Amino acid sequence: MARIAGIDLPKNKRIEIALIYIYGIGSSRAKEILTITEIDPDKKVSLLTDKEIALLRDTVEESYQVEGDLRRFESMNIKRLTEIGCYRGRRHRMNLPTRGQRTKTNARTRRGSRQTVAGKKKAVKK
């Protein structure tokens, strides 16, 4: 079983896809890692040798900030923004979009599901 950066990679997937399971590694970075280590991207994780796994592990841990370190780094950046009280920090604190998106109609992911207005009365027919 291949274990890189504390994550067990799925055995039945290609190594190019399996690396994406690590937080902080996307498809382009996975391709970059495989070109550096000269490992075939179409090779399944179960067919990797121990030497190749060790080479991948060393490359990822030396060159890239992944998993816990990256999560900690991002949370510290958000904490810094909220502490200094800048616009983006206030948006984070209020759970609103921070990158200029509209909030009148969209932003359901960030704001949550719609809430009805309490006590709103319907128009009376005459």
Question: Is 69-111 in CATH node 1.10.10.10?
Answer: no
Quick: pLDDT tens for 53-101. 999 999 999 999 998 899 999 999 999 999 999 999 999 999 899 998 8
Ranges of CATH 1.10.8.50 domains, the chain: 3-63
Among residues 3, 117, 84, the alpha carbon closest in space to that of 50 is found at: 3
CA 20, 25, 28, 32 torsion-angle sign: negative
Task: Kindly tell me if the per-residue pLDDT of 111 is higher than 80.
Answer: yes
Quick: pLDDT tens for 8-56. 999 999 999 999 999 999 999 999 999 999 999 999 999 999 999 999 9
Ranges of CATH 4.10.910.10 domains, the chain: 69-111
Q: How far apart are CA 123 and CA 126, in angstroms?
A: 9
Q: Which amino acid is at 107?
A: A
Note the pLDDT of residue 85. Answer: 93
Contact indicator for 45, 20 with CB cutoff of 8 Å: no
Fold category of 3-63 in CATH: Helicase, Ruva Protein; domain 3 (1.10.8)
Task: Kindly tell me if the per-residue pLDDT of 1 is higher than 80.
Answer: no
The better pLDDT of the pair 39, 2 is held by 39
Note the pLDDT of residue 35. Answer: 94
Q: Among the residues of 9-48, which ranges form H helices?
A: 15-18, 27-37
- What's the burial of 34, exposed, middle or buried (CB within 10 Å: 0-12/13-18/19+)? buried
